[in-house]
Amino acid sequence: MQAAIKGDEATPERLARYQIHPTMVNTWKRELLDCAPELFDSKDGKTDKSYQDDVDNLYRYIGKLTVERDFLHVSSITDEKSAPFHGRAFSPGSIHCQPVSNT
C-alpha cells in the first residue's frame, strides 16, 4: 500500500509481489486518499479527551511507582543500617570485617 501511495513501483510490479488484483490496489489507494484527512481529525473532541485521560492516568501511575520505589529504597537503606552484619563486626576505619564472638 505504501508503494502504491508513493508511486515508487509500477502497478504490475506491486501486483506480482503481493499477488493481488489491479483493481484492489487502485480502490484502496483512492479510498485512503479520500478518507485520510478524516482519519486524523477529532470531530467531537472525544479523541483528544480520551488521549488526555490516558496521559493523565499514565502520569498518575508513574507517580505512584516513583513513590513506591522511593519508599522501598529508603526502607532498604534503613534496614541495612539497623541490621547486624551477618555475624561480623564492622570497624568504620577498617575495610575488613571481624567475626563476632558470642562469648
Q: What is the pLDDT of residues 35-44, one digit of tens each?
A: 887 777 766 6
Q: Is the model's pTM score more than 0.75?
A: no
Judge whether 51 lies within some domain. Answer: yes
| Confidence at residue 54, expressed as pLDDT on a 0 to 100 scale | 92
Q: Is residue 79 predicted with pLDDT exceeding 80? A: no
2 and 37 together in one domain = yes
Q: Which domain holds residue 47?
A: 43-82
Judge whether 103 lies within some domain. Answer: no
9 and 36 together in one domain = yes
Structural domains in the chain (count): 2
DSSP bridge pairs for 89? 98
**Which triple of cell numbers denotes residue 62?**
508513574
Judge whether 61 lies within some domain. Answer: yes
Beta strands in 1-103 (DSSP E): 88-90, 97-99
77 and 50 together in one domain = yes
Task: Give dist(CA 100, CA 97) in Å, integer.
Answer: 9
Quote the DSSP letter at residue 100.
Answer: P
Tens digit of each residue's pLDDT (9 = 90 or more) over 25-77: 788 888 888 888 777 776 665 667 888 899 999 999 999 999 999 988 887 77
Judge whether 100 lies within some domain. Answer: no
